[in-house]
């Protein structure tokens, strides 16, 4: 059977070109489907972009939706010997602080050993090292003979979470000491006893009892608590980070002081201001993304024509719903404070672009004059009222697995699947039709070739017959 490339040889007709033209004409019916596939694929990607943009805005909204921002304070110390951090519940005030002693951890050190890898224990099959702290907690560590070297004991102790950290100190060539330091500062966290049972030799290397003066391990650093006074009230703590002395204040001790120093706690509106500014910027960035996704450029070619640079979500109801609802959430009419709208604290909306514009001076004035009122408008009760609370609830809904974005995405995916099925069905139909055309053209070519051969034969016979008749005459 003739191939496409040899179609027409027998008949003399240009059947290959005719078949190519028929194929092109049939495949043109696929173009509307591929055009739709391209549009819906772009739309699917656009929903992903929309979801990402909303998630970014959600982060800024979550940060602003924090009541502690509006009661924030800052702490200033007159001395580098201590610093402080505050929480949202801290009350402004001034304190005198005097630090007379820092908390420190106990360190025990062994006698010098000539090797850090040689086993130091006796020939017992195993032995147990019990480490007991002053607060009564104790940990027993079973050691093999190989674990009685300084290195072996160090690794076993550090793996046991025994309340101490072991290290090896090389004090000279061939001179090593095992050092054990309490994991936490304070006298209650010091080691009160180290006892090795089943190996008297090793006991003589690392044994310790705080109640006696003769020990294998010596106390090179004594454990002690931090001691200070706040407003002349004596305080003792096992840590240099003290969070339970002043309500809402964590003191961080770095050194002792010379006499009384001052700790000043003041209101701090900068945290709320920063969060609001970031929120405004994030909202405007979100609107920019909305604009990109819904971009429209008018064209002059036909009423239904669209510019190729138009946004994939132009006219999309899902995005339009989100944008409209967001705009309506910029007020809190239920607020019990005098502030009901963002404009009252210096955040206005550009009527043309919808972008938010921030007057920092007006915002600072509102935060300084009535931070609770601003908080009531923005955060509300944190459950059902407040601008950021309402937005947070809606964002969670929009971005959920059952939200409108996922529903729209699923709808587009289903349509794309249907278009793929349509394309495959139509493409198969076209392929079959072209195959039939090819078979018919091939048959035509064979038939025409046969007819041409017969015609040539008959013509030749007729010519021969005529020639013979002429000769007889």
Choose the final residue of a domain: 221, 254, 282.
Answer: 221
Answer yes or no: do 260 and 289 share one domain. no
Split at pLDDT 50, 70, 90, the class of 5 is very low
Split at pLDDT 50, 70, 90, the class of 411 is confident
Mean pLDDT for the stretch of residues 177-182: 98
Of 201-205, 251-255, 352-356, 462-466, least confident by mean pLDDT is: 462-466
Q: From the CA atom positions of the chain, what is the Rg in Å?
A: 44
Q: What is the pLDDT of residue 235?
A: 97
- Long-range contacts for 417-423 (Cβ within 8 Å, ≥24 apart)? 419/33, 419/36, 419/37, 419/40, 420/37, 422/33, 423/30, 423/33, 423/34, 423/37
Answer yes or no: do 405 and 309 share one domain. yes
Neighbours of 398 (CB within 10 A): 20
309 part of a folded domain: yes
Which has more pLDDT, 313 or 151? 151
Answer yes or no: do 81 and 113 share one domain. no
Answer yes or no: do 328 and 452 share one domain. yes
Split at pLDDT 50, 70, 90, the class of 2 is very low
Q: What single-letter DSSP state applies at residue 403? A: S
Answer yes or no: do 392 and 278 share one domain. yes
How far is 151 from 166, CA to CA, in rounded Å?
9
Q: What is the pLDDT of residue 32?
A: 82
Is the pLDDT at 466 greater than 90? The verdict is: no
Place of tokens 């509106």: 269
Answer yes or no: do 287 and 260 share one domain. no
467 part of a folded domain: no
Mean residue pLDDT of the chain comes to 88
Answer yes or no: do 49 and 118 share one domain. no
Mean pLDDT for the stretch of residues 104-128: 95
Coil, helix or strand at residue 170: strand
CATH code for the domain in which residue 194 is found: 2.60.40
Answer yes or no: do 168 and 195 share one domain. yes
Here the tokens at position 370 are 């009535």
Of 247-251, 344-348, 457-461, least confident by mean pLDDT is: 457-461
What does the pLDDT look like over 131-167, one tens digit per residue? 999 999 999 999 999 999 999 999 999 999 999 999 9
54 vs 57, 309, 363, CA distance in Å?
A: 5, 23, 25
State the total domains in the chain.
3
Length of the chain: 473
469 part of a folded domain: no
Q: What is the pLDDT of residue 262?
A: 97
Answer yes or no: do 325 and 236 share one domain. no
287 part of a folded domain: yes
What does the pLDDT look like over 281-292, one tens digit per residue? 999 999 999 999
Full domain range(s) for residue 244: 73-103+226-267
Q: What is the pLDDT of residue 128?
A: 97
How far is 212 from 193, CA to CA, in rounded Å?
10
Here the tokens at position 257 are 């002081």
448 part of a folded domain: yes
Answer yes or no: do 171 and 309 share one domain. no
Here the tokens at position 384 are 């059902």
244 part of a folded domain: yes
pTM value surpassing 0.75: no
362 part of a folded domain: yes
Is the pLDDT at 401 greater than 60? The verdict is: yes
Strands (E), 290-382: 347-349, 356-358
Percentage of residues in the chain with pLDDT exceeding 90?
A: 65
Here the tokens at position 160 are 């046991």
Answer yes or no: do 3 and 57 share one domain. yes
Q: What is the pLDDT of residue 41?
A: 85
396 part of a folded domain: yes
Answer yes or no: do 171 and 239 share one domain. no
- DSSP letter string, 364-433: HHHHHH-HHHHHHHHTTTSSS-SHHHHHHHHHHHHHSTTSHHHHHHHHHHHHHHHHHHHHHHHHHHHHHH
Split at pLDDT 50, 70, 90, the class of 4 is very low
């Amino acid at each position: 059977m003739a191939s496409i490339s040899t179609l027409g040889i027998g008949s003399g007709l240009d059947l290959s070109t005719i078949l190519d033209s028929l194929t092109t004409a049939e495949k043109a019916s696929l173009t509307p489907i591929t055009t739709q596939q391209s549009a819906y694929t772009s739309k699917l990607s656009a929903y992903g972009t929309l979801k990402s943009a909303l998630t970014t805005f959600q982060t800024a909204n979550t940060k602003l939706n924090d009541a502690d921002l509006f009661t924030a304070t800052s702490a200033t110390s007159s001395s580098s010997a201590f610093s402080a951090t505050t929480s949202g519940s801290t009350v402004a005030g001034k304190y005198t602080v005097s630090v007379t002693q820092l908390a420190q951890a106990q360190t025990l050190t062994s006698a010098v050993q000539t090797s850090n890898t040689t086993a130091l224990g006796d020939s017992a099959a195993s032995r147990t090292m019990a480490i007991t702290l002053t607060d009564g907690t104790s940990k027993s560590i079973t050691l093999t003979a190989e674990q009685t070297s300084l290195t072996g004991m160090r690794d076993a102790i550090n793996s046991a979470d025994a309340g101490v950290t072991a290290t090896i100190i090389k004090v000279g060539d061939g001179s090593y000491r095992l050092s054990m330091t309490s994991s936490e500062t304070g006298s209650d966290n010091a080691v009160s006893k180290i006892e090795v049972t089943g190996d008297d030799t090793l006991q003589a290397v690392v044994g310790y009892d705080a109640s006696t003066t003769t020990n294998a391990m010596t106390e090179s650093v004594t454990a002690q608590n931090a001691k200070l006074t706040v407003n002349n009230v004596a305080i003792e703590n096992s840590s240099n980070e003290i969070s339970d002395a002043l309500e809402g204040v964590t003191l961080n001790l770095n050194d002792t002081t010379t006499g009384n120093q001052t700790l000043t706690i003041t209101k701090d509106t900068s945290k709320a201001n920063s969060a609001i500014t970031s929120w405004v910027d994030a909202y405007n960035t979100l609107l920019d993304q909305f604009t990109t996704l819904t971009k429209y450029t008018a064209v002059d070619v036909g009423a239904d024509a669209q510019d190729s640079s138009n946004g994939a979500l132009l006219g999309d109801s899902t995005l339009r719903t989100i944008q409209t609802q967001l705009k309506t959430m910029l007020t809190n009419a239920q607020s019990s404070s005098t502030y009901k709208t963002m404009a009252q604290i210096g955040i206005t909306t550009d009527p043309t672009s919808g972008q938010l514009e921030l007057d920092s001076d007006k915002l600072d004035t509102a935060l300084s004059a009535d931070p609770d009122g601003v908080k009531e408008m923005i955060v509300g009760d944190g459950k059902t009222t407040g601008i950021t609370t309402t937005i947070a609830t809606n964002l969670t809904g929009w971005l959920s697995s059952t939200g409108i974005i996922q529903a729209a995405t699923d709808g587009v995916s289903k349509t794309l699947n249907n278009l793929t099925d349509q394309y495959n069905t139509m493409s198969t139909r076209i392929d079959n039709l072209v195959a039939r055309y090819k078979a018919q053209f091939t048959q035509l070519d064979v038939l025409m070739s046969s007819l041409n051969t017969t015609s040539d034969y008959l013509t030749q016979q007729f010519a021969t017959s005529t020639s013979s008749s002429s000769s007889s005459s």
